[in-house]
Structure 1
Amino acid sequence: MASTLPPHSAILLKGNLHNPIHRQRYVSLYPTGTYHLTWEALPQCKATHQRYVIPLRRGKTVKSVASPVTAPLPADGEQQRKELCESYGFRQIGEPLPDDVTLKNIIDTLPKTVFEIDDTKAWKSVLISATSYALGLFMISKSPWYLLPLAWAWTGTAVTGFFVIGHDCAHKSFSKNKLLEDIVGTLSFLPLIYPYEPWRFKHDRHHAKTNMLNEDTAWHPVMKTHFDESPIFQKAIVFGYGPIRPIMSISHWLIWHFNLNKFRPSEIGRVKISLACVFAFMAIGWPLIIYKTGIVGWIKFWLMPWLGYHFWMSTFTMVHHTAPHIPFKSSEDWNAAQAQLNGTVHCDYPRWIEILCHDINVHIPHHVSSKIPSYNLRAAHKSLQENWGKYLNEASWNWRLMKTILTICHVYNEDRNYISFEEVAPEISSPITFLKRVMPDYA
């Protein structure tokens, strides 16, 4: 029998109706290709290969069916990485970084100029965001109803630029004047009703614990034990990591930033100042918007752009560190250089998005060193490509990339990194099956 199997496929063995063979998956350990199988010869295989086959009784009728398996191939060969790139929607999947490479080794290869703070460039980014946001509000005020979604998309992207400015301020890479940084950061976050200091403290932990199981404060896999312990919330978790994942940063915003119990005693004072600023903006800004434009105006001018911002916040963060081949590790096995260089994704978006969002998706150098200002990220990335290029994960945004994340990257598995809810809880995974059916698969 000749059989051609697609990459990372499985064989389903079926016997006759009276004595069926139990359904089981057997993953091929060999490269894709055409193989001639003679069942009678299988038991006579050499001892070194006998553990990979299952003897069958003579006289059984056997049917082979190829079906896809979500377990990633080990990304330790060039051909395997090419197959994974095609399957997951990546442009390049990096080779594993050697264990003896440290984060300092990588930082030392970067030119000193990428760490330099330039006040002119910093304030230019403020001007771009302020101008594009004002233009967006003008577009909303003048657009007929059928053009409002375009105006909201522009304005939501523009206000995301304010977040990136505050993000630089939080990393102390915006200005040489540190008091000014805190003021600009606080003001930049106000239209998003994001408390600056709580976000800064939380985000610092993300950089210190990137791709570390449980400790990372950004997106990480669902732990199966937690999933099994919360049966009443399982459906919500499936939706949260599936169809509504592109706006799930709203939940993250609520859970992480307004609970004083999540911060150290030394942080509480600054957290309270930020919360006071946010509540003051809501108490003054929202009534003014409603007074001038009504509730519908509040929805048009504030809520819809805010939801657009959360779409970018959710999807950017998701793409930066989530792929079937990128592992999350326990603190005992975690390696900083591997997590920051090899576990972070560079993703190219349309140029207008890159401009309005100040190159936040040139993300690998930002994780190598958060002290690099956003306006120097491209120069830093070019240096990383020259010195560490074969280890980088790179993609251009595409539907297959998003489909991979939304339909596969769910529950943590030590051997496979991720397994889908369809495998863990098939009885409640219809939202994931729906996404597989309706999402485009263009790369």
Structure 2
Amino acid sequence: MEAPKPTAVPDIKTLRDAIPAKCFERSMLRSLSYVARDLVAVSVLFYSAVQLMKLDLPLALAIPAWGLYSFVTGLFFTGLWILAHECGHDSFSADLTVNATVGWALHSMLMVPFFSWKFSHSRHHRYHNHMEKDTVFVPHRKPEAVRKSEPSIMEKIIDHTAADAPIFSILSLAVHQLFGWPMYILLNAGAGVNSLTRGNRKNTPKYKQSHLDPTCSVFTQSEMPFVALSNVGLLITLTALIRVSQSIGVANTCLMYGLPYLWMNHWIVAITYLHHTHEDAAHYEAEDWTFVKGALSTVDREFGFIGRHIFHGIIEYHVVHHMFPRIPFYHCEEATWAVAPMLGDKYIEQRTNFFIDLWEAFTQCKYVESDKKGSLMWAKS
């Protein structure tokens, strides 16, 4: 019996025509309602943190109380981060000024340089899973992995080539989750060799790839003023945090804002990593890459109530977002099921435990190698 033939990849127009027109409609009022909901939740949580500070609990009670607070607040921080992400794609509303203003305000509150991230993230969408031009989680090819027989600890963390020892893998994963985002912002970690707007990453010092430097090689000249504006937003938030720490103390400020911030970093790195790391998610050399191939090499996963209602479905319906990033998140489910039947075996979804998926991807997907069909596939350990 012959094996079934792989599904032919539809062109982007065919896929777009299959999606109901209403899925492309952006409602400013609806989007702002989600912002209001999440801001109210964070405000209530901040108020609860202030009350918690006044209780002077014994350590046995304080640790779980602050742990629960930081976890829940980190979820809503991430929700706001994702709404700013909508602004960065102009899927928040049809008004570009509103998108820029809301996105800048929300990301600045979360110590994220909005325009700096927006510009490099747009190049990620333009070149997703391109081995040279993608800007996030570009994997090693097999020869590189073999050649780096004794990589540094930082290389193992950034390039997800951790040793096989479980304890080292656990520690590496923890650092990967907590510091992967700052390393990307400060050093452009994980980007492809030809992902810069000027020059080559191999020949460009790491400090000239910082998202905080308006003159760095990540950005074009026309983008530089907006990168500076992003830094202004960070300075405003940093100043506010300093003033708060003068009122309630540095330790309490770290508990109230710092711990949720670390949770947010974890979620953003985990979500992005799992969207682009899966045994069936191919990467492509320049001569084989196309926009649709790259979009179809992303993954829809599952995170239950939190994913669908606090993270605004970004985990569950990411493939269609890569194809049509201006579809608002609240229409992505309908759009997904409109195109999924056309994609057949090219549509990648994994509706299993999110944390187990993270562990398996981090420990098993070490590098990619050619499948001799024009794709680079993950070689599982």
TM-score (norm 2): 0.79
Q: Distance in 2 between matches of 1:288 and 1:129?
A: 24
2:153 is equivalent to residue 235 of structure 1: yes
**2:201 is equivalent to residue 246 of structure 1:** no
Superposed CA offset, 1:95-115 (max 9, x none) = 85425x212221121111000
**95, 99, 112: which one pairs with 2:21?**
112
Letter in 2 for 1:108: D
- In structure 2, do the counterparts of structure 1 residues 239 and 119 end up closer, same or farther at CA, with 3 Å as the change threshold? closer
Structure 1 residue matching 2:41: 3-state secondary structure: helix
1:133 corresponds to which residue? 42
Q: Residue in 1 aligned with 2:196? A: none
Per-residue Cα deviation, 1:296-336 (whole angstroms, up to 9, x for no partner): 11211111111111111011001111112211101110122
Structure index of larger Rg: 1
Q: Which of 348, 358, 371 is 2:302 aligned to? A: 348
**Counterpart in 2 of 1:323?**
278
Note if contact 2:25-2:327 (Cα within 8 Å) is conserved in structure 1: yes
2:234: which partner in 1? 278
Structure 1 unpaired stretches of 5+: 1-75, 79-94, 423-443
User: Contact 1:344–1:364 (CA<8 Å) still a contact in 2?
Assistant: yes
Q: Indicate if the aligned counterparts of 2:84 and 2:107 stay in contact, CA closer than 8 A.
A: yes
CA distance in 2, matches of 1:285, 1:274: 16
Query: Displacement, 1:365?
Result: 1.4
User: 2: distance between equivalents of 1:307 and 1:96?
Assistant: 42
Aligned equivalent of 2:100:
182
Alpha carbons 2:88, 2:118 under 8 Å: kept: yes
> Per-residue displacement from partner, 1:187-239 (whole Å, max 9, x unpaired)?
01012211111111101101110111021111121245666777775332223
The offset of 1:273, in angstroms, is: 1.4
Map of 2:12 onto structure 1 = 103
Shift of 1:386: 4.4
Does the CA-based 8 Å contact 2:281-2:299 persist in structure 1? Answer: no
* Structure 2: gaps of 5 or more residues: 53-61, 163-172, 189-210
Opposite residue 322 of structure 2, the aligned amino acid is: H
Alignment match of 2:292 (pick from 330, 337, 355): 337
Alignment partners' CA distance in 1, 2:149 and 2:276:
27
Q: Note the alpha carbon deviations across 1:44-100, whole angstroms, 9 max, x for none.
A: xxxxxxxxxxxxxxxxxxxxxxxxxxxxxxxx967xxxxxxxxxxxxxxxx85425x
Q: In percent, how many aligned pairs have the same letter?
A: 21
Distance in 1, Cα, partners of 2:92 & 2:101 = 11
Instruction: Look up the equivalent residue of 1:264 and give its one-letter code.
Output: T
Superposition TM-score, scaled by structure 1 size: 0.69
Q: How many residues align?
A: 327
Kept after mapping to 2: 8 A contact 1:365/1:380: yes
The one-letter code matched in structure 2 to 1:254 is L
- CA distance in 1 between counterparts of 2:71 and 2:44 reads 12
Query: What pairs up with 1:37-116 in 2 under 5 angstroms?
Result: 96-99=6-9, 101-116=10-25
